Amino acid sequence: MSNPLVKRIVVMGVSGSGKTAVAARLASQLNYSFIEGDDHHPRSNIAKMSSGTPLDDEDRRPWLERLNQLITESQNPIVLACSALKESYRQILSEGAPNLTWIYLSADQSLILNRVAARQEHFMPTGLVASQFRDLEEPAYGLKLDANKPIDQLLPKIIEHIETKESKKVIGLIGLGVMGRSLALNLLRNQQSLAVYNRAEEQELIKDFELRSQGKPVDIHLDLASFVKGLETPRKILMMVSAGRAADLVVDELLSHLAPEDIILDCGNSHYRDTEARQAKCQSSNVHFLGVGVSGGEQGALWGPSIMVGGNQSAYQQIAAALNLIAAKSSEGASCANYIGKGGAGHFVKMIHNGIEYAEMQLIAEIYGLLQPEYSLPQIAEIFSSWNASDSESYLLGISAAILRHKTNDEFTLQNILDRAGNKGTGSWSSQLSMQLGVPSSMMTSAVYARYTSSQKSRRVKLEAQLGPKQAPNRAIDLDQLHRAYDAARWINHAQGFELIYTMSEESGYEINLSVLASTWTNGCIIRSRLMQRCQSIFKDHSTLLDHAGTLQHIEAAQDDLKDLCKMGIDLNRPIPAHISGLSYWQQITQAESTADMIQAQRDFFGAHRYQRRDDPTTSYHTEWE
């Protein structure tokens, strides 16, 4: 990994803009190492350009990757001269090398034509100048200078820009609650240039962060104006505040201090529609607002979360390198921070992540309930651990085994926890959306209702006292069968969750790549698992899990096991709503015929809502039933 503290400057522009001369003089004046990007073109690229054929993205990729390697491996300050015409090229150069300083030499086409024509012994012919300008995507960041000015006039401006940049912090973070503090410490551990702001009245949070960040170079602000002023432009500010009204207040106050092209990243659990409203508000001030889903809890935020970004993609590219540094890494070494899609896509998928999470947690809780009292807590822990060593491996299954083993004062901690589940609303948001879209998400919805039912503890106690405890017959439990049923239910849950994401993406134009999203969820987040790794592979070629023959065969092979688990739960009087809803969905979605003909007849009988006939499904009919 590169050292983020090593200073790196890129002087960019079209061929003939003077970037080589400027970069060489700048490196000499600063006593930095100089890298001429053109010297590292493969011979095939030079031959292609010499023949008058412009390079395409495929030609440029190995060249850019080589330059990125030189940048990241250098232990000395460097100045690189490189055209870096497109934002995607600049992203390749920035990978693993955050905090690059960009100097853009701007020129008109006539000036470049004259310069290129006058050059000798250079492989770039005048015929390729037009292609350079066609490819050019001017950066919205860095220092833009007139390439027609003499170098002696340009250098003082560049040095002043560098000195100003070095006196300011690169990233700002607002809010030092549990998640904000953890993300800040993660950024500092990865040597990011950081300033933080927190309300002065929350002294305990500030003192705790000061203690934990001791010795780290971080600026702590109690005044928002000074915090914003101390950040380099365009400013990149991570917002870690409560969703809803609190987030609105912070955004409103921030906008009075920000400038065009600044970037706000809302890393809280905001509703995606609120995010889109804030994006529209910020857009009127030419400020970028990114909705960022962050999953992994306190430890994930501290050591490597899953990060889902939605909004303006070019704004994301400006902070992608820093996010990649602090994010979890997949088993293949890829960052679990990714651009997910347009608008509120980042917070939308975080919401569905939590809906899937609700059902995953409920499935484990139901298995735990089925195994009691026949199995002790340590025995159930062993069962979960053995499953976790198989294809059923998941973060939630692993922590459930640890929970079952944990003791406080020689007593199992779990036995003293009140059976009343809390929730923060994201699960119910997912269920509400599924109903609006008409996409079944029965498993996450049943898990939400199970939490609501658990919260009615006093009523449950009263009703059991009134009716008497449920008597459960003895029944042998086949652990292998139970495992297969649990595994099948998890596949159904993921199928429902991703179906909801796919449908919403299509309807809202989010353009979510499901394989990239699944990759983002392979580590760092709460629903990371071996199943998610399978999903990543499946979504490279399929839009839904139920379009994949292997998934269908896997669930179908375990259907009888899932039926027997549901029968067992009923016989033993142990509620298993998530497993039952999963089985019911599977039975409905895999049968050509349903009982909806009766529903349609009933609707027409009492409300004249009309229906379609089997032999004429495009025409509406009404029957006078009485």
Per residue in 309-335, pLDDT (tens digit) is 999 999 998 899 899 999 999 988 899
Inform me whether the pLDDT recorded for 257 exceeds 90: yes
Cα–Cα distance measured from residue 552 to residue 488, given in angstroms and rounded to the nearest whole number = 10
Rg (CA), the chain: 29
Instruction: Read off φ and ψ for residue 102, nearest 5 degrees.
Output: -105, 130
Q: What is the pLDDT of residues 540-570, one digit of tens each?
A: 999 999 999 999 999 999 999 999 999 999 9
State the pLDDT confidence band at 140, using cuts at 50, 70 and 90. confident
Q: Whole-number mean pLDDT of the chain?
A: 92
Inform me whether the pLDDT recorded for 152 exceeds 70: yes
DSSP symbol at 235: E
What pLDDT is attached to residue 183? 96
**What is the identity of the amino acid at 307?**
I
What pLDDT is attached to residue 109? 84
Q: Taking residues 281-302, report their average pLDDT.
A: 95
Cα–Cα distance measured from residue 371 to residue 575, given in angstroms and rounded to the nearest whole number = 12
Inform me whether the pLDDT recorded for 508 exceeds 90: yes
Helix (H, G, I), strand (E, B) or coil at 290: strand
Percent of the chain with pLDDT over 90: 74
Give the residue, 142 or 559, on which the prediction is more confident. Answer: 559
Give the residue, 131 or 465, on which the prediction is more confident. Answer: 465
What pLDDT is attached to residue 332? 86
Token pair 């990543």 is found at: 536
Q: Taking residues 193-221, report their average pLDDT.
A: 90
State the pLDDT confidence band at 194, using cuts at 50, 70 and 90. very high
Inform me whether the pLDDT recorded for 341 exceeds 60: yes
What pLDDT is attached to residue 141? 82
Instruction: Read off φ and ψ for residue 581, nearest 5 degrees.
Output: -65, -35
DSSP symbol at 616: E
Helix (H, G, I), strand (E, B) or coil at 257: coil
Q: Taking residues 607-625, report their average pLDDT.
A: 95
Cα–Cα distance measured from residue 274 to residue 79, given in angstroms and rounded to the nearest whole number = 42
The answer to whether the beta carbons of residues 165 and 232 sit under 8 Å apart is: yes
Percent of the chain with pLDDT over 70: 97
Cα–Cα distance measured from residue 579 to residue 562, given in angstroms and rounded to the nearest whole number = 8
Q: Which residue from 118, 85, 97, 110 is spatially nearest to 14, judged by alpha carbons? A: 85
Q: What is the pLDDT of residues 53-73, one digit of tens each?
A: 888 889 889 999 999 999 888
Domains and CATH numbers, the chain: 8-165 (3.40.50.300), 169-343 (3.40.50.720), 351-589 (1.10.1040.10), 594-626 (1.20.5.320)
Give the residue, 570 or 165, on which the prediction is more confident. Answer: 570
Strands 616-621 and 231-239: unpaired
Cα–Cα distance measured from residue 429 to residue 424, given in angstroms and rounded to the nearest whole number = 10
Q: Taking residues 216-227, report their average pLDDT.
A: 92
Report the run of H or E that residue 133 belongs to, with start and end: helix 129-135
Q: Give the helix ranges, DSSP H, for 456-513.
A: 457-467, 479-508
What pLDDT is attached to residue 6? 67
Inform me whether the pLDDT recorded for 2 exceeds 60: no
Q: Catalytic annotation on 350?
A: yes
Q: Taking residues 216-237, report their average pLDDT.
A: 93
Q: Which residue from 310, 396, 312 is spatially nearest to 349, judged by alpha carbons? A: 310
Q: What is the pLDDT of residues 31-49, one digit of tens each?
A: 999 999 989 988 888 888 8
Give the residue, 390 or 74, on which the prediction is more confident. Answer: 390
Q: Taking residues 516-526, report their average pLDDT.
A: 96
Max Cα–Cα distance, the chain, nearest Å = 98
CA terminus-to-terminus distance, the chain: 78
What pLDDT is attached to residue 427? 82
pTM for this structure?
0.83
Inform me whether the pLDDT recorded for 260 exceeds 60: yes
State the pLDDT confidence band at 154, using cuts at 50, 70 and 90. very high
Question: Distance between alpha carbon 22 and the CA centroid of its chain, in Å?
Answer: 39
DSSP symbol at 197: E
Q: What is the pLDDT of residues 436-454, one digit of tens each?
A: 999 999 999 999 999 999 9
Cα–Cα distance measured from residue 312 to residue 42, given in angstroms and rounded to the nearest whole number = 33
Q: Give the helix ranges, DSSP H, for 372-478.
A: 377-388, 395-405, 426-437, 442-455, 457-467
Q: What is the pLDDT of residues 235-244, one digit of tens each?
A: 999 999 998 9
State the pLDDT confidence band at 75, using cuts at 50, 70 and 90. confident
Q: What is the pLDDT of residues 403-445, one digit of tens each?
A: 999 999 999 999 999 999 987 777 889 999 999 999 999 999 9
- Least confident piece of the model among 126-140, 214-228, 592-606: 126-140
Q: What is the pLDDT of residues 343-380, one digit of tens each?
A: 999 999 999 999 999 999 999 999 999 999 899 999 99
Q: DSSP letter string over 14-56? A: STTSSHHHHHHHHHHHHT-EEEEGGGGS-HHHHHHHHTTPPP-
CA-based angle 360:296:264, to the nearest 5?
Answer: 125
**The one catalytic residue among 342, 350, 360, 366:** 350
**The one catalytic residue among 95, 232, 357, 360:** 357
Q: Catalytic annotation on 507?
A: no
Helix (H, G, I), strand (E, B) or coil at 147: coil
Strand-pair partners of 36: 81
Inform me whether the pLDDT recorded for 103 exceeds 50: yes
What pLDDT is attached to residue 121? 58
Inform me whether the pLDDT recorded for 123 exceeds 70: no
State the pLDDT confidence band at 1, using cuts at 50, 70 and 90. very low
Cα–Cα distance measured from residue 203 to residue 176, given in angstroms and rounded to the nearest whole number = 10
Q: Taking residues 226-231, report their average pLDDT.
A: 95
Residues 6+ apart with CB under 8 A from 431: 355, 441, 444, 445, 448
Q: Which residue from 343, 344, 326 is spatially nearest to 335, judged by alpha carbons? A: 326
Cα–Cα distance measured from residue 461 to residue 617, given in angstroms and rounded to the nearest whole number = 51
Q: Both tokens of residue 216? A: 């780290």
Strands 169-174 and 263-266: unpaired
